[in-house]
Amino acid sequence: MDQQQQSAMFGDMDPEAFRRYGYKMVDWIADYLANGKEYPVLSQVEPGEIRGALPARPPQEPETMEAIMADVDRVLMPGITHWNAPGFLAYFANTGSGPGILGEMLASGLNVNAMLWRTSPAATELEQVTLDWLRQALGLPEPLFGVINDTASSSTLYALAAAREALSDLEIRQKGLAGRADVPRLRVYASQEAHSATDKAAMTLGIGQEGVCKVATDDELRMDAAQLEQAILRDLEEGWRPCAVVATVGTTSTGSIDPVAQIADICEKYGLWLHVDAAYGGSAAVDPQMRRVLDGCERADSLVVNPHKWLFTPMDCSVLYTRKPEILKAAFSLVPEYLRSAQNQDEEVPNLMDYGTSLGRRFRSLKLWMIMRYFGQEGLAARIREHCRLAQWLARQITATPGFELMAPVHFSLVCFRAHPHGIDDEQQLDKLNEGIINRINASGRFFLSHTRVNDRYTIRVAIGNIRTMEHDIHALWDTIQGQPSQS
């Protein structure tokens, strides 16, 4: 125990020690971000290895920050998969950008709980202002109410809760769903390519997995709007109560874009809530040249976009927009006496706890505000455009090279392809071959790729989205894919 710790059996780390360790921590992070290539992108540890290297019992005596940080380096770092590395191209790559990391640091320094307006007016008002900036940057018309959640999964859950609340005659908020003969089974529609967040929301909301109708897709993996309408008509005939449609702009598997405008027509015709899942693809619209990807989304009742995916914001930050905040609030607002403020305050300003299940809320808008100011819309757009350019470059190599084929159109920065050597047409053999390519690349440590299945074929995904991924990384990846040692 050092002297400071001894003399401080009560109270926190003293301010001078905090300053010292804080500077060291910033140095550590700056070195880490600068030297990303020293580590294999995908952690190479075995299951249980990290746990086994840590004591099973809690420390009884105080320990020094030096000892703690030494274990970060020695024990934890081998078990880190490096999402901030330029070679991270799996799932959807994301980024802890400099201003975003500093914003997180300040948020934890302030340690604000933004549950009510008065529990930090700046947190609530900055969230409203920042999300209105983002709305404008995305080219979406006002009025549009925005609120930040942890993830797109939460945002989608809340959006579908609002859709359920919009069926006000069923009084589900009050009476629940179970044991009621007077409530028809509810149906939510999403394409076969939609994210599992919709299924999870249905499971949570009492709609059930059977309540999610998976609409077939066309040959470009987009929801088939004619099939959607047929499914709704069939359900109406069979006594289901259609509730909502989830359209996706940028599916997780291949980045396909559902025909939102056509789907909006159908939603209007049958009185259904339209939720757009643009968790990944929505960010592209900050580039005016890409704005058309959100065509039709101005008619959505709700839309989710994740700055923690492709807007250079560290985990976590998901934005839920809705044109019907009063319905979202009706689904969730419940104010016990101990949370009541002066009446006029509650009417003048939103209390953001009213728009979801959580009471406590992190000050997430701080990092997004810093990012939007530090890069500016032009800076954000330039980075997104570059990622899309790199994806198009890779797609051109794949198309031009015998033995490889593109598996889906490239709308954003996600490239889906497979090796398909001349003379090999057995699907199982091709699956194995491509799985082998991914395993070989991931074991090399320089890159991390993940896969999907497109039309039931094993497909390699290259998801470019990290701010540190540069042209030479993608060139080196293409060399590696072709079996050549990478140049850099």
Q: Which residues bind ligand PLP (CB under 6 A)?
A: 92, 151-153, 195, 197, 248, 251-252, 277, 279-280, 306, 318
**Residue 310 or 417 having the CB closest to ligand PLP:** 310
**Going by C-beta distance under 8 Å and a sequence separation of 6 or more, which residues neighbour residue 66?**
none
**Going by C-beta distance under 8 Å and a sequence separation of 6 or more, which residues neighbour residue 91?**
450, 461, 463
Residue 194 token pair? 């939609």
Which value, to the nearest 10 degrees, does the dihedral of the CA atoms of residues 134, 136, 139, 145 take?
70
Query: What is the edge-to-edge ordering of all strands in the sheet holding 414-419?
Result: 404-406, 414-419, 457-463, 450-454
Minimum CB–partner distance for residue 414 and ligand PLP (Å): 10
CA 478 from centroid of its chain's CA atoms? 27
Minimum CB–partner distance for residue 51 and ligand PLP (Å): 24
Residue closest to 245 by CA, chosen among 191, 320, 299: 191
Minimum CB–partner distance for residue 128 and ligand PLP (Å): 21
**Residue 120 or 251 having the CB closest to ligand PLP:** 251
**Residue 157 or 353 having the CB closest to ligand PLP:** 157
d(CA 247, CA 215): 10
Minimum CB–partner distance for residue 250 and ligand PLP (Å): 6
**Residue 248 or 322 having the CB closest to ligand PLP:** 248
* Cβ–Cβ < 8 Å for 396, 389: no
* Cβ–Cβ < 8 Å for 417, 393: no
**Residue 199 or 287 having the CB closest to ligand PLP:** 199
**Residue 151 or 333 having the CB closest to ligand PLP:** 151
**Residue 99 or 282 having the CB closest to ligand PLP:** 282
Long-range contacts, stretch 117-123, CB < 8 angstroms, 24+ apart? 117/341, 117/345, 117/349, 117/350, 117/351, 117/352, 118/341, 118/345, 120/363, 121/349, 123/361, 123/363, 123/365, 123/366
Minimum CB–partner distance for residue 405 and ligand PLP (Å): 24
**What are the b/e assignments for 159-188, b being 16+ CB within 10 Å?**
bbbbbbbbbeebebeeeeeeeeeebbebbb
**Residue 305 or 437 having the CB closest to ligand PLP:** 305
Helices and strands per DSSP (H, E), number in the chain:
17, 11
